[in-house]
Amino acid sequence: MCIFCKIIKGEVPCGKIYEDEHVLVFLDINPISKGHCLVVTKEHYETLLEIPEDESIYLFKALKKIGKALMKGLKADGFNIGMNNFSAAGQVVMHAHFHVIPRFKGDGLKHWPGKKFEEGDYVKEIKRFL
């Protein structure tokens, strides 16, 4: 069983922030900033691609609820939502989860670096699978 399923079952402790029938929100053990939360479905799905449509509404609601609470409760100036899908993208825990990261003016955290835009056939390749 994965570590997040163990947390959901109560077999591993967590800093619980919010819970409902579908979703659990807890503090990241290695936070990027104070209040960095993880939002997970109680069912085990590996990545975004496996999460059924009817579950995604509960995730979306929880993300908004937590974002608002972080802003009000921590007087954060904003928040980032991030999700790593598959190991190439940095996913370490293979139970789909969203990171909600409170942001403060001047906190020094940097966005991903951008590259020069390139035209190419890759756009056609993406569109083939939509």
Catalytic residues: 97
DSSP 111: P
Note whether 5 binds Zn ion by CB under 5 A. Answer: yes
Q: Which stretch binds ligand AMP (CB under 6 A): 25-33, 41-49, 101-109, 118-126?
A: 25-33
Residue number with CB closer to ligand AMP (34 or 123): 34
Integer CA distances (angstroms), 129 to 15, 45, 50, in order: 40, 22, 17
Tokens of 31: 């936070």
Integer CA distances (angstroms), 43 to 9, 64, 128, in order: 11, 20, 31
Helix (H, G, I), strand (E, B) or coil at 39: strand
Q: Which listed residue (22, 42, 44, 65) binds Zn ion by CB under 5 A?
A: 44
By CB under 6 A, what part of segment 84-123 binds ligand AMP?
Answer: 84, 90-93
Tell me which residues touch ligand AMP (CB under 6 A): 3, 12, 14, 28-30, 38, 84, 90-93
